[in-house]
Amino acid sequence: MTELSGQLSGWLTLPHLLQADGQYPITMEAAMDSLPIGDYALLSDCRSAALVSRDGSVDWLCFPRFDGPTVFARLLDDGAGHFSIRPAGEHRASRRYVDRTMVLETTFSCPGGTGVLTDAMAVGRNERLHDLGENSPGMLLRRLSCTGGELEAEISFAPRPEYGLISPLLLPVPGGLAARGGAQRLLLSTPVSLTVSGATATARIHLAAGEAAVFALGHGELAGPPPPTAWTSDQINARLADTLEGWRSWSAIHQTYEGPWRELVHHSGRVLQALTFAPTGAIVAAATTSLPERVGGERNWDYRYTWVRDASLTMGALWVAACPDEASKFFAFVADAAASQPQQVMDLQIMFGIGGERDLSERELPHLAGWRGSRPVRVGNGAWTQRQLDIYGELLAAAQQLVDQLGELDPATKRFLAAAADAAASRWKEKDQGIWEVRGEPQHFVYCKVMCWVALDRAIALAEYLGATEGRVASWAVARDEIRAAVLTLGWNAGAGAFTKAFGSEDLDAANLMLAITGFLPADDPRMKATIDATATRLTDERGLVYRYLTNDGPTSDGLTGGEGAFLLCTFWLAQAQALAGDVDAATATFERAVAAINDVGLLAEEVDPASGEMIGNFPQAFSHIGLINAAWAISQARQGADTA
């Protein structure tokens, strides 16, 4: 057992199904759009992603990018496409990521034998170290090996491109099967003979010990080059081995953190790399769209984009669990994508496509039923047009963190960052939609005021680096002091005994834990301590997991119906704030409650359902893994400080 699997034992989303031998019994194929979200594992080539169920079904795959249209989307509708490889009849399954990689191994135990299904998305040939994913071919690799006795297996290949809209023509070709229809061309390379019925191909195969069946799914575009010619079994096996070495080489030079929950931190670093679009350095918020924040509810969003607000938190996490090179590349993407806007009339855009695209117009896909009937399914994200004033602070905080890595800034970037500080100084008194992207009325959110303070505080620290004049710095200092006075006066609510969501509000907001994390107030300041304690006692569910805020239908409504789950990032924020306040025992307990939600392969979604305890929301969620890393680091530092005190 690896150290990671040892840390994960007992932190499983389906303990009622787990057998004494650590395996799950599987007797029939359930409707895949109703499987628990935690049943899935992530595959990535640092360009796009796939999700594989514990039973060996690829139920989510986008080509050629994370935000591209799906080839398989059974995750959101049982008829939206899948690629299943599973033993025939009753069997049990266990799985793991191969050590220091994002290559998945699923072990099937059957009455007559055992088999191992190895799944990966191929990285570019001989890609190593920082180059991982730069030239990935867009190829899903699968190998089923019989490791003992005999194995009967069933194959079902049902591509449904463009979110299930297309049932393609499946045509036998030398070395495999081609799929034609719509804008994409697919080629499944395999020596296995498949029977085609309509838009689905199936096979039943027999393997003896030492035998294996291999598959490689590639893609091309109708308007571009076709998929490559079919790969042989030797080529598929070689690319699997090469992909393993690529991930191991990345881990070898990046993962130096030594502290509590070491393997979870290292694995979360690999998850962040897996959610990175290598050509630009952008990190998607999650690999999926429209997994709901409450089962059956309407809070279903497309998270396959990059948020500017993630910048500073991501910088810190990458610094701990990866290395400054990845952090620098991510900041460069954010700065390039957002450049110029603060100097114009429009606000700084809050999010971008992973290629730097700005128009992320939202639409609904009414033909998809949604995960467990949670509609609507959305593509695009309407929040891209919102005003969220906190992003100036996140951008400049990230710049300060990387000041030693960025080298000399070019004049345009200096002007852009200084203009962002000017925008924070001039706009902090305005209302906005806030960090949680409410779709109700704009408010004076306390967190956003604080992040405008952060923008100015960091800009002043970077003044010489940015080439700012004394007069400009003086104006930043005046605005910074005004913001601080306003937050301390209007953001604190004596009746609530805490800093609250917005000026004049009595509602708590977990985002206010960031007052301690950003340094606006020391974590042991009495008002900050009171806010931390209020969050822990009044903004948590039965498990001690933290809500972002309590939803309601009053004047502070977020504009949406229904509730939502507890937010894992906010729970990690609470642990981090408790550690900064010196309460290491409480921080450790909070951290342990959050990671109790993790699935058997170390992945976290956005939220946890308060009734069932299942993970909900888009998956896997970068913010949750970022929170895990930063909280673990804060607890590690707090423990070291306590030991030396």
CATH of the domain at 131: 2.70.98
**Is 269 a member of any domain?**
yes
**Is 396 a member of any domain?**
yes
The predicted pLDDT at position 85 comes to 98
Q: Which tokens is 45 given?
A: 């080539």
Give the total number of structural domains in the chain.
2
Q: Say yes or no to pLDDT of 151 above 90.
A: yes
The pLDDT confidence band at residue 340, using thresholds 50, 70 and 90, is: low
Rounded Cα–Cα distance for residues 427 and 456 (Å): 12
pLDDT digits (tens, 9 = 90+) for 3-50: 455 555 433 333 333 444 556 666 444 566 689 999 999 999 999 999
Residue 106, strand partner residues = 95, 117
197 and 263 fall within a common domain = no
pLDDT mean over 94-104 = 97
**Is 5 a member of any domain?**
no
8 Å CB contact between 63 and 71: yes
Mean pLDDT, rounded, of the chain:
90
28 and 96 fall within a common domain = yes
Rounded Cα–Cα distance for residues 470 and 468 (Å): 7
Rounded Cα–Cα distance for residues 15 and 596 (Å): 11
8 Å CB contact between 159 and 199: yes
494 and 609 fall within a common domain = yes
**Is 8 a member of any domain?**
no
The pLDDT confidence band at residue 561, using thresholds 50, 70 and 90, is: low
529 and 513 fall within a common domain = yes
242 and 302 fall within a common domain = no
The predicted pLDDT at position 405 comes to 67
Rounded Cα–Cα distance for residues 587 and 479 (Å): 34
Please give the torsion angle defined by the CA atoms of residues 163, 168, 171 and 177, in that order, rounded to the nearest 10 degrees.
Answer: 0
218 and 312 fall within a common domain = no
**DSSP one-letter code for 42:** E
The predicted pLDDT at position 642 comes to 79
Which structural domain range is residue 138 located in? Answer: 15-251
**Is 10 a member of any domain?**
no
Least confident of 205-214, 218-227, 477-486, 633-642: 218-227
260 and 247 fall within a common domain = no
215 and 291 fall within a common domain = no
**Is 461 a member of any domain?**
yes
552 and 622 fall within a common domain = yes
The predicted pLDDT at position 356 comes to 93
Rounded Cα–Cα distance for residues 236 and 607 (Å): 37
Which CATH number does the domain housing residue 533 bear?
A: 1.50.10.10
Q: Say yes or no to pLDDT of 624 above 60.
A: yes
**Is 316 a member of any domain?**
yes
Q: Say yes or no to pLDDT of 479 above 70.
A: yes
450 and 495 fall within a common domain = yes
Rounded Cα–Cα distance for residues 549 and 566 (Å): 9
Instruction: Show which of 230, 251, 272 is a domain's final residue.
Output: 251
The pLDDT confidence band at residue 337, using thresholds 50, 70 and 90, is: confident
**Is 311 a member of any domain?**
yes
508 and 414 fall within a common domain = yes
Instruction: Show which of 196, 223, 251 is a domain's final residue.
Output: 251
Instruction: Show which of 231, 251, 271 is a domain's final residue.
Output: 251
132 and 260 fall within a common domain = no
pLDDT mean over 472-497 = 98
Is 111 in a helix, a strand, or coil? coil
